[in-house]
A and B are shown apart, each in its own frame.
Chain A
Amino acid sequence: MTTTENRPQFKVVGTRPVRHDGLEKVTGKAKYGADVILPGMLYGKVLRSPHPHARIKSIDTSGALKIPGVKAVVTAKDLPIQSDKMVELGEAHANMKQIAENCLANDKVLYKGHAVAAVAATSPHIAEEALDAIKVVYEVLPFVLNVDDAMKPGATLLHENMVTRAVLGGKPDPAKQVGKSNVSSEMRWVGGNLEQAWKDSHVIVEREYFTKPVHQGYIEPHVTTVNWNPDGKITVWTSTQHTFGVRQQAAAILQVPEGMVKVIPMEIGGGFGGKINVYLEPAAAMLSKKTGHPVKMVMTRKEVFEASGPTSGSHMKMKVGATKDGKITGWQLWLAFEAGAYPGSPVAMGAMCSSAPYIVENFDVSALDIVVNKPKVAAYRAPGSPIGAFAVESTLDELAEKLGMDPMDFRLKNAAKEGTRQITGAPLGKIGNIEVMTQVKNHPHYKSPLPVGPNVGRGVGMGYWFNIGMQSSAALNVNPDGSVSLVTGSVDIGGTRVAVAMQAAEILGIRAEDVIPTVADTDSIGWTGVTGGSRTAFATGIAAINAAEEVKKQLIARAALMWEVKPEDIEFKDGLYINKKSPKDSVTMKQLAAKMMMTGGYVTASATANPRMAGAAYGAMIVDVKVDPETGKVDLLRVTAFQDAGKAAHPSYVEGQIQGGAVQGIGWALNEEYFHTTDGVMANSSWLDYRMPTSLDLPMIDPVIIEVPNPGHPFGLRGVGEVGICAPMAAIRNAIFRATGARMYHLPMNPGSIVEAIGAKKAAGHTNGAAKK
């Protein structure tokens, strides 16, 4: 672990206490979404489309309703008519009509697995059997499975009235001719003088890339239990990253007031962005309304793959030039991302983030969002950024090679720093980009000789994620024993209870163990945004800090009352409240808490924060690979992952985020993909065939934490959850080149494609696209 700036010493922040919720999780006592059992509970199952694109002509549910044990069936006809209302959902906006239609298809099904109807029965087996008794007549339509087919003239249109929204530099582009299309939007950023930039270039590299959709792969399937009482009150027990977002979506889709919906967060078994949108809640709610019973619905793993959000597949083109001494001249990037069945891929973020590590002055960047007949994409860890980074970091590696420059020297020469304007025109704040790059360059791994043997290579890549702030709330209640209960609305997906509790403890001068964190339902805490965007330890941390400061203020007043002095006469130091007028008089929080009832009653405080300076995160990876040229298998020999955490609140869980992000990136690089056959069906919708990394596929992942404090947080924290997934794909790809001489332009770089690339290189003597000049 590395610290690049001297900071005041913290007592709690930066230590590694055992997480408060850990014991229940290692003993099996913790209650997750699927562990909900309620009196009279029914079980729901979903009928899904067998076709990638079809018009629903009719649905006959009468057969299912005759089966003993079946209590109700719902279709889209049972949901209120939706308008195109937009809601804010964490890292992205969402259209409620589209979310509702994704939950239950209205007139068309847009992908294989699209929900058509749902059944509630007294057992999950009966509900499943009843699905076969629902008769749906489809008019099968042509379908498109990738961005290039979707853009072809005459391609079948998923949404017949959709017109491309053309945006230039953040504003509507009136010059762009648009018509009905599967391209929902085309965003473009132009700056500088690209024509001149190409003329000034000593080297220009122009390349093209293709990636496939990949799934977040959380181990816990989507699950919900909904109870709709006759008085209109709806309770949802679910596993979500965003309780208030579920409340908002459910209320909008069901057209009930938000205050009538209470969302109770169960422990969540992973999300990575995929558990923000609702999938099951509208159907479960309508089934509960019809039956008067709570209804529980759990997806199968196949349903998770086929009907919850992966992230985008893509087609990308990049042209970049540099002067002889390695300064980037021109930057042209074209990104086309699959959105799945409804608009809303993270393509704009892919365009902005992948450019953010570098000074880019002459540029033309386009980002196209394109609907295809696949499940609607959902957020996935730094949405869009890893895809764009694959194109950018791969192309820059080739540029550095052509210049004969060390890849990190090349990056450092072009590194963005505080004040550098991004392609959007917005300047970067205080960032650790150069510090991360420098750490990579100086790291023993980077300086070490390559492992001995043939077909071994080393690669590097960078990554960027902007991180978000947003609103969070926290409440603190001082207990008579001196401990403090901490209530927040932030679902704990990977150790944020402890990371937030530590921040309150730091302010109060008590141990992390003396703060008792609870994650509350939407009726029991102030509005709190998504556990996503790498925001929780940052923003909910600030809410907890603010509440703790208020508690401290009240305790100072209590101490003043006790000693009959003014609050200004009390000094707080190292957990002690000291009477400045008589410094031998000092009390601990525990002593003050024991006397609360004699000094004015119990001390409580609540706070809500809406911080904006989230502090962007930079990350990098060095990876050594060994490639078997016969089989194309890639073994990872050594992986070092770097990340600027600002200040690591709980270093173990920061390391965990870095390692977890790295390994998701490794899976994306080498194995994972949605493999669709020509009939529009995902052929690998099980973990056996989708093949995420196992423990045997990996070495230890060595995390390096860099700390360039974020001025937007009292302790300097930056978000740490996401950026770790950005660098691995290009880093591994660049390592494969050094091991084999073959350049890869597709993800995943699975054994077959590597054998093919090595073979093609041998046959042609050179790779895709030749360098100009």
Chain B
Amino acid sequence: MAKKVIVQANLNDNDTEFLSEPRQSLLEVLRETLALTGTKEGCNDGNCGACTVMVDGRIVNSCLMLAVEAEGKKITTIEGIAQADKLHPLQQSFLEEAALQCGICTPGFIVAAKGLLDREPKADEHRVRHWLAGNLCRCTGYDKIIRAVLKAEKEL
């Protein structure tokens, strides 16, 4: 086993230091080392988006990024989306629009959708569908998810 590396990163607005084996993905370290289990693993090969996080404002499949690559980066996970006393409009609209069934893909969708709305707050339905095509949901048929994102745009 290769020696662990100290990684310094800003995680959900906190400067953080953690140890990582060079082979560990950011997803594995978030979940297993840092106990941030809100980021989910669906495939571990970059095809489902359940592990979506934001790295310096860009959405990334955290299963495809090594934890050591997080050095000096700003990482936002689902645990960093809401304020202490207030949900993010996306989280609120997902609840109101019943945009989740089992909920396992939901953190990834919300982080990915935030990535879109941060850049394009007026994205239309087609653009939302295009942007979220990297996130798989097997329960909803996407209909209510798309509606929830479009609704959140109005709240932002």
Give me the interface of A with B, judged by CB distance under 8 Å: 16, 18-19, 21-23, 25-32, 34-35, 37, 125, 216-221, 267-272, 298, 300-301, 493-495, 650, 652-653, 655-657, 659-660, 662-664, 686-688, 692-696, 698, 700-701
Tell me the complex Cα distance, A268–B40, Å. Answer: 12
Tell me the complex Cα distance, A16–B95, Å. Answer: 11
CB-defined contacts of A25 to chain B, threshold 8 Å: 100, 103, 106
A219 to chain B, nearest CB (A): 4
Contacts A22-B95, A125-B23 known; A272 to B104 CB distance under 8 Å? Answer: no
Residue of A whose beta carbon sits closest to that of B105: A219
Residue of B whose beta carbon sits closest to that of A494: B101
Q: Out of A16, A270, A650, A700, which one reaches B138, CB within 8 Å?
A: A270
CB-defined contacts of B104 to chain A, threshold 8 Å: 32, 218-220, 267, 269-270
Chain B 136-156 interface residues, beta-carbon cutoff 8 Å to A: 136-147
Mask, B71-82, CB within 8 Å of A = 1, is: 000000111011
Does B42 contact A27, Cβ atoms closer than 8 Å?
A: no
CB-defined contacts of A696 to chain B, threshold 8 Å: 129-130, 132-133
Q: Out of B40, B106, B143, which one reaches A26, CB within 8 Å?
A: B106
Counting from the closest, the 9 A-B pairs by CB-CB distance are: A28-B38, A269-B104, A663-B141, A25-B103, A494-B101, A28-B78, A652-B98, A659-B141, A687-B47
Does B98 contact A16, Cβ atoms closer than 8 Å?
A: yes
Tell me the complex Cα distance, A495–B99, Å. Answer: 11
CB-defined contacts of A652 to chain B, threshold 8 Å: 97-98, 144
CB-defined contacts of A268 to chain B, threshold 8 Å: 102
Does B87 contact A34, Cβ atoms closer than 8 Å?
A: no
Q: How many A-B residue pairs have CB under 8 A?
A: 181
Say what secondary structure dominates the interface of chain B. Answer: loop
Residue of A whose beta carbon sits closest to that of B45: A686
Most buried by B among A655, A694, A701: A694
Does A220 contact B38, Cβ atoms closer than 8 Å?
A: no
Tell me the complex Cα distance, A696–B133, Å. Answer: 6
Tell me the complex Cα distance, A515–B107, Å. Answer: 26
Does B139 contact A28, Cβ atoms closer than 8 Å?
A: no
Residue of B whose beta carbon sits closest to that of A68: B1
CB-defined contacts of B43 to chain A, threshold 8 Å: 301, 686-687
Residue of B whose beta carbon sits closest to that of A667: B138
CB-defined contacts of B140 to chain A, threshold 8 Å: 656, 659-660, 663
B10 interface residue (CB < 8 Å to A): no
Chain B contributes a number of interface residues (CB within 8 A of A) equal to 58
B68 interface residue (CB < 8 Å to A): no
A299 to chain B, nearest CB (A): 10
Does A659 contact B144, Cβ atoms closer than 8 Å?
A: yes
Does B102 contact A28, Cβ atoms closer than 8 Å?
A: no
CB-defined contacts of A659 to chain B, threshold 8 Å: 140-141, 143-144
Known: A34-B41, A301-B42, A694-B142. 15 other contacts (CB 8 A): A16-B98, A18-B95, A28-B78, A29-B79, A34-B40, A218-B102, A219-B48, A219-B136, A301-B45, A652-B144, A663-B140, A693-B141, A696-B129, A696-B133, A700-B147
A151 to chain B, nearest CB (A): 33
Does B102 contact A220, Cβ atoms closer than 8 Å?
A: yes
B13 to chain A, nearest CB (A): 15
B15 interface residue (CB < 8 Å to A): no
Does B87 contact A27, Cβ atoms closer than 8 Å?
A: yes
Give me the interface of B with A, judged by CB distance under 8 Å: 21, 23, 31-32, 35-45, 47-48, 50, 77-79, 81-82, 87, 91, 94-98, 100-107, 110, 128-130, 132-147
Does A656 contact B145, Cβ atoms closer than 8 Å?
A: no
B101 to chain A, nearest CB (A): 4
Residue of B whose beta carbon sits closest to that of A28: B38
Contacts A26-B94, A27-B91, A696-B129 known; A218 to B138 CB distance under 8 Å? Answer: yes
Contacts A27-B79, A267-B103, A494-B139 known; A695 to B47 CB distance under 8 Å? Answer: no
CB-defined contacts of A662 to chain B, threshold 8 Å: 141
Q: Out of A35, A216, A270, which one reaches B37, CB within 8 Å?
A: A35
Residue of A whose beta carbon sits closest to that of B142: A695
Does A23 contact B87, Cβ atoms closer than 8 Å?
A: yes
Does A219 contact B40, Cβ atoms closer than 8 Å?
A: yes
Tell me the complex Cα distance, A27–B145, Å. Answer: 16
A27 to chain B, nearest CB (A): 6
Residue of B whose beta carbon sits closest to that of A125: B23
Tell me the complex Cα distance, A22–B43, Å. Answer: 24
Q: Out of A220, A493, A660, which one reaches B40, CB within 8 Å?
A: A220
A212 to chain B, nearest CB (A): 18
Contacts A28-B37, A663-B141 known; A695 to B101 CB distance under 8 Å? Answer: no
- Give me 14 A-to-B residue pairs in the complex whose CB atoms sit less than 8 angstroms apart, sorted by A's number: A16-B98, A23-B95, A26-B106, A219-B42, A219-B50, A270-B102, A495-B101, A656-B101, A656-B139, A660-B139, A694-B142, A696-B129, A696-B130, A698-B143
Q: Out of A19, A26, A220, A656, which one reaches B110, CB within 8 Å?
A: A26
Contacts A26-B91, A125-B23 known; A663 to B101 CB distance under 8 Å? Answer: no
Does B107 contact A700, Cβ atoms closer than 8 Å?
A: no
B115 to chain A, nearest CB (A): 15
CB-defined contacts of A700 to chain B, threshold 8 Å: 143, 146-147
A411 to chain B, nearest CB (A): 25
Does A660 contact B96, Cβ atoms closer than 8 Å?
A: no
Tell me the complex Cα distance, A664–B100, Å. Answer: 16
A123 to chain B, nearest CB (A): 8
A655 to chain B, nearest CB (A): 8
Contacts A26-B106, A27-B78, A27-B81 known; A692 to B138 CB distance under 8 Å? Answer: yes
Residue of B whose beta carbon sits closest to that of A16: B98
CB-defined contacts of B107 to chain A, threshold 8 Å: 26, 28
CB-defined contacts of B21 to chain A, threshold 8 Å: 125
Most buried by A among B32, B101, B132: B101
Contacts A27-B82, A28-B78 known; A22 to B100 CB distance under 8 Å? Answer: yes
Q: Out of A27, A34, A298, A695, which one reaches B133, CB within 8 Å?
A: A695
